[in-house]
């Protein structure tokens, strides 16, 4: 698939102006369709996965394996997929499509399968690096006018204290989070602590490399802001170890990064039980991936606003007949229909499709 973003999204690892991604469409014998979005990006910049590695592992292992299962349900697929190392985003897309099918058969919304209860979920907006602090302030201002109540500013060395200070000056009471996507060396910890404290930043996400658990633990100690892990937590053991090391005071859960909605919920429960606030992260999903994220966020363990914005923050056309819109109190509505509960627009889908590959039993 290829979808042009409403505006380019710049992070410490690169700029994206059109998103390339895979969709998994499972066709059941009864004719029902289950959908899963694979959040791997064109280039392996956020993590080691990419569209090409996902396509390869899906067509070579995950999908043929799924088609050989006597009962192809989410639990059986999880068993099968666990044999293979990594490739979490590819695996998550299949599990998502299976959950969609299963929930449709039960005539229940997907949220019910993963313990969701809420009718609306609280959301914020993630704001990319801009060409100047003034432009950033204007961008944030427009999001606040739209109704978002917390912003997450992308930062990196050279784009941190100054732009964040400009936003703070313009909005003295705003809830500000920052996310560095691993861009700092551990030696930058004291400087980060200084500006983040002075500017009243509520949360600093993944400042250091994925494996730098001790650096995150050092920053966490005595910090007046939460330290959030994203890339460092990819499964249950990595979360358990990070918790034991006290390397986080907030947890970003992304379905793709951890290998599926079921694991995502398990990690959220684990974080919540350990007293760490948990929230649903985003990967600039189309409406299909975002619908799943919204169902996940309706589970009770998620206590901070997710990176799940309205459709028009990402795409002019996000593949749905009825786009997600921002509701009262900076919320999105959890779809109530069976499965994902969204109607996919055939026309938009056709327009965004670059290539189709079919795997048969
Ligand atoms: O680190 O949270 C991140 C987008 C792409 C890759 C990584 C991240 C992000 C975001 C966007 O912050 C969140 C969203 O989808 O709204
Ligand atoms: Mg992040």
The burial of 61, by beta-carbon neighbours within 10 Å (0-12 exposed, 13-18 middle, 19 or more buried), is given as middle
Average pLDDT score over residue span 212-218? 98
The burial of 70, by beta-carbon neighbours within 10 Å (0-12 exposed, 13-18 middle, 19 or more buried), is given as exposed
Per-chain mean pLDDT for the chain:
97
Say yes or no: CB of residue 126 within 6 Å of ligand 1: yes
* Element housing 94 (H / E): helix 88-106
* Element housing 199 (H / E): none
Ligand 1 binding pocket mutation candidate from 281, 290, 318 (most atoms within 8 A of CB): 281
Say yes or no: CB of residue 46 within 6 Å of ligand 1: yes
Q: Which of 254, 265, 270, 295 is catalytic?
A: 254
Longest dimension (CA), the chain: 61
Q: What is the pLDDT of residue 158?
A: 97
| 310, 332 Cβ separation under 8 angstroms | yes
Atom of ligand 1 nearest to the CA of 281: 2
Average pLDDT score over residue span 299-307? 98
Atom of ligand 1 nearest to the CA of 181: 1
Closest CA to 306 of 320, 292, 323, 321: 292
Tell me how far CA of residue 344 lies from CA of 92, 162, 228, 281, 347, in angstroms. 20, 42, 34, 22, 9
Q: What is the pLDDT of residue 117?
A: 93
- Render pLDDT for 257-300 as a digit per residue (tens, 0 to 9): 999 999 999 999 999 999 999 999 999 999 999 999 999 999 99
Closest CA to 245 of 200, 202, 213, 277: 213
Average pLDDT score over residue span 322-341? 97
Atom of ligand 1 nearest to the CA of 230: 1
Q: What is the pLDDT of residue 361?
A: 86
Say which residue the tokens 């002019």 belong to. 316
Q: Which residues, in sequence order, are bridge partners of residue 2?
A: 20
Going by CA atoms, what residue is nearest to atom 7 of ligand 1? 283
Q: Given phi > 0 = left and psi -120 to 50 = alpha, else beta, which region is 194?
A: alpha
Model confidence at 238, in pLDDT bands (50, 70, 90)? very high
Quick one: which ligand is closest to 290's CA? 1
> Above 90 in pLDDT, residue 73?
yes
Average pLDDT score over residue span 162-170? 98
Quick one: which ligand is closest to 39's CA? 1
Distance 282 CA to ligand 2 centre (A): 8
Average pLDDT score over residue span 130-147? 98
Distance 154 CA to ligand 2 centre (A): 9
Share of the chain above pLDDT 70, in %: 100
Q: What is the pLDDT of residue 229?
A: 98
What residues contact 194, with CB distance under 8 A and at least 6 apart? none
| 12, 181 Cβ separation under 8 angstroms | yes
Task: Give CA–CA dist 23/39, Å, rounded.
Answer: 9
Task: Give CA–CA dist 184/215, Å, rounded.
Answer: 10
Say yes or no: CB of residue 208 within 6 Å of ligand 1: no
Share of the chain above pLDDT 90, in %: 100
Task: Give CA–CA dist 9/348, Å, rounded.
Answer: 22
**154 part of the active site:** yes
> Above 90 in pLDDT, residue 224?
yes
Say yes or no: CB of residue 282 within 6 Å of ligand 1: yes
pTM of the predicted model as reported, rounded to 2 decimal places: 0.97
| 231, 181 Cβ separation under 8 angstroms | yes
**CATH class of domain segment(s) 113-333:** alpha beta
3-state secondary structure of 103: helix
Task: Give CA–CA dist 82/98, Å, rounded.
Answer: 16
Measured at the CA of 129, the angle between CA 202 and CA 334, to 5 degrees, comes to: 60
Quick one: which ligand is closest to 311's CA? 1
Q: Where are the domains of the chain?
A: 2-108+345-352, 113-333
Q: What is the pLDDT of residue 81?
A: 95
Atom of ligand 1 nearest to the CA of 252: 2
Average pLDDT score over residue span 336-344? 98
Task: Give CA–CA dist 97/82, Å, rounded.
Answer: 17
In 156-188, which ranges are continuous DSSP H helix?
161-170
For 2-108+345-352, CATH number out of 3.30.390.10, 3.30.420.300, 3.30.1280.10, 3.10.20.30 equals 3.30.390.10
| 256, 307 Cβ separation under 8 angstroms | no
């Amino acid at each position: 698939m290829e979808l042009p973003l409403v505006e380019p999204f710049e992070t410490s690892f690169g700029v994206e102006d059109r998103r390339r991604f895979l969709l998994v469409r499972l066709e059941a014998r009864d004719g029902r369709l289950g959908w899963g979005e694979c959040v791997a990006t064109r280039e392996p910049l956020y993590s080691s996965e990419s569209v090409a590695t996902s396509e390869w592992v899906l067509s070579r292992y995950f999908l043929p394996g799924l088609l050989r299962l006597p009962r192809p349900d989410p639990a059986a697929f999880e068993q099968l997929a666990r044999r293979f190392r990594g490739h979490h985003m590819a695996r998550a897309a299949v599990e998502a499509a299976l959950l969609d099918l299963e929930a449709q058969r039960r005539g229940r919304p997907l949220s019910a399968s993963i313990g969701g209860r809420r009718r609306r979920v609280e959301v914020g907006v993630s704001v990319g690096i801009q060409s100047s602090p003034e432009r950033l302030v204007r961008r944030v201002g427009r999001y606040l006018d739209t109704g978002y109540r917390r912003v997450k500013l992308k930062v990196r060395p050279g784009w941190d204290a100054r732009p964040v200070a400009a936003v703070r000056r313009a909005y003295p009471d705003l809830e500000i989070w920052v996310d560095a996507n691993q861009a700092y060396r551990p030696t930058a910890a004291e400087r980060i602590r200084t500006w983040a404290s002075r500017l009243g930043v509520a949360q600093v996400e993944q400042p250091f490399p994925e494996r730098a658990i001790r650096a995150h633990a050092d920053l966490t100690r005595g910090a007046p802001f939460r330290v959030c892990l994203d890339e460092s937590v990819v499964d249950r053991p990595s979360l358990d170890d990070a918790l034991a090391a006290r390397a986080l005071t907030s947890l970003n859960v992304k379905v793709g990064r951890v290998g599926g909605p079921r694991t995502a919920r398990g990690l959220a429960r684990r974080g919540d039980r350990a007293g760490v606030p948990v929230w649903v992260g985003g990967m600039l999903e189309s409406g299909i991936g975002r619908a799943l994220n919204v169902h996940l966020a309706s589970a009770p363990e998620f206590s901070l606003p997710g990176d799940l914005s309205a459709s028009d923050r990402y795409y002019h056309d996000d593949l749905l007949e009825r786009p997600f819109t921002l509701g009262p109190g900076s919320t999105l509505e959890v779809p109530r229909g069976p499965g994902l509960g969204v109607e996919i627009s055939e026309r938009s889908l056709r327009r965004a499709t670059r290539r189709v590959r079919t795997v048969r039993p």
